[in-house]
Chain A
């Protein structure tokens, strides 16, 4: 049985090429003696896929992202560079060829230092967050790892929780945001939360209620807000109705009726606005006013995207 395991030098090669990380992502069957052959075959396939996805360009981009990591390549929230590279390689293909993203104003994302990237949320699945993440990571003006805030139930889902963490996703806890801003990270925030992502198609491009939390974070940590108007994600998964009683039973935030379970190939337009700076406010009413300023800016950016769009799909 032992002879069927990969030879040591093969393992070493895997380690160097990020194969061990792959094993961590997709799970490994090495502990189970009965199926080592299967494990060898699938590992080989995974490695080949990884080599295809992690192009030299992706390698160079990720290498140039300023990000301190521990001795095993992890940060305190579980971000892992090797996993991120593979996912970025895959997401880049979707970004370029499936959603055919057009991004403007990428120069507005600071190449270093703390920043909150604030966008309008839509499309049931968080495709918008992923696409903004790819735009930031492949930004020609200086790639950034932009961290997405994930729903609180994700860490309880086997594999998915660890996987999202490895990609830089972090549960949307104010303590996490504070610490990350202190460490000069870039964070993607959708202040509408599930109100935005779960809204029905008839409400497309209408901003839902914004929480004020992001503005407090920006003010307290003196972090600029870069608004991003996202156009196209509404059409990737247009929801006709929301089966909220069933969703409640299943413990899900919403359960939409959609024409397709996979996101439709809508063209996506990302318009990044100029960084907005806010000094501490005297009252909550003043904070709400500032949130309105951000919403107004977002509406302008969304309109720009809609005006630019000539074809939905």
Chain B
């Protein structure tokens, strides 16, 4: 009897964390790390996620009314907002609704139900890829992605929105994380889909430096950001760099050279050949000019260091191809 009570008590004492985008590879890892120590609630807009016992799972779109029921039903202490629609998944309008309006709804609900902490998963794309970028961009740099393309407006707006809430509502304890390219098993972002392919487009004469992070390291970073609760904006990136074309080689891909001059040509090729999922026309500039993040603030503040190096990351993609070819 006594043990039962104490179990219940400890269950009550545990914080409740809502994780969005639960069907994705990163969120799955975050949930696995939190499970046991916290009450976890999994939410996704794509499908109802199969979860371990004790993890309630919901299929809901953030900008729809049903989302509020989850907040009403559970006393949520923290939200880890990972779920976002990638540009290749829906139209620009749908993406805006889900990513920007969805995030606004989420933050409003967090205020209404007095959620004490929000972690927001952003992206390094917000800085924009430009020939004039300095290297080691820090968090205070302007977000110039919408200058590059309209297709990234939702990413930048999501950030601006989160930023407004970060300063206006300090009680939400918002932490915004801007990771570099996240790769690894199960990751379905465009870079991961690209490096999983055997034939990969490269722009002739351009091999921008890039940073890569293993999805396990990113999930650790997110859990640390949640547990240590130090609100603010942080780049999440290792201090290791590799040119894109070298990464392509290391992942065992063959290169498909694409003429890079005039600048509109590769965009046209990507559009015509429908490379939306892995080499989308609006990301062409990211394969041309480097966007190198200074991740020192996050590393110092949270005492975090990636545990997998570039070779560990690339090995997965190399092996994947060996298995595929038998």
Chain A interface residues (CB < 8 Å from chain B): 24, 27-28, 30-32, 70-72, 74-78, 152-153, 155-162, 165, 170-171, 173, 175-176, 179
B interface, size bucket: 35 or more
Instruction: List residues of B (104-161) whose CB comes within 8 Å of A's CBs.
Output: 131-132, 134-137, 141
Given contacts A155-B289, A173-B134, A179-B136, contact A31 B246 (CB under 8 A): no
Is B268's beta carbon under 8 Å from chain A?
no
Contact with A along B249-269 (1 / 0, CB 8 A): 000001111001100000000
Instruction: List residues of B (47-92) whose CB comes within 8 Å of A's CBs.
Output: none
Nearest neighbor of B293 in chain A, beta-carbon distance: A76
Is B311's beta carbon under 8 Å from chain A?
yes
A152 touches B131 (CB 8 A): yes
B289 touches A27 (CB 8 A): no
Taken together as a complex, chains A and B put the C-alpha atoms of A188 and B131 apart, in Å, by 21
Taken together as a complex, chains A and B put the C-alpha atoms of A159 and B136 apart, in Å, by 22
A76 touches B135 (CB 8 A): yes
Q: Which residues of A are found within 8 Å of B209, using beta-carbon distances?
A: 74, 76-78, 165
Given contacts A31-B256, A171-B132, A173-B132, contact A74 B206 (CB under 8 A): no
- A sample of 12 inter-chain contacts (CB < 8 A) reads A24-B243, A27-B204, A30-B255, A31-B256, A32-B257, A76-B239, A152-B131, A155-B131, A158-B260, A160-B205, A162-B206, A179-B135
Taken together as a complex, chains A and B put the C-alpha atoms of A153 and B206 apart, in Å, by 14
Taken together as a complex, chains A and B put the C-alpha atoms of A170 and B135 apart, in Å, by 9
B205 touches A158 (CB 8 A): yes
B183: min CB distance to chain A, Å? 15
Taken together as a complex, chains A and B put the C-alpha atoms of A157 and B262 apart, in Å, by 11
Is B309's beta carbon under 8 Å from chain A?
yes
A171 touches B134 (CB 8 A): yes
Nearest neighbor of B205 in chain A, beta-carbon distance: A158
Taken together as a complex, chains A and B put the C-alpha atoms of A157 and B289 apart, in Å, by 11
Taken together as a complex, chains A and B put the C-alpha atoms of A39 and B252 apart, in Å, by 19
Taken together as a complex, chains A and B put the C-alpha atoms of A153 and B130 apart, in Å, by 11
A78 touches B136 (CB 8 A): no
A70 touches B242 (CB 8 A): yes
Q: Which residues of A are found within 8 Å of B309, using beta-carbon distances?
A: 71
Given contacts A31-B256, A179-B294, contact A75 B204 (CB under 8 A): no
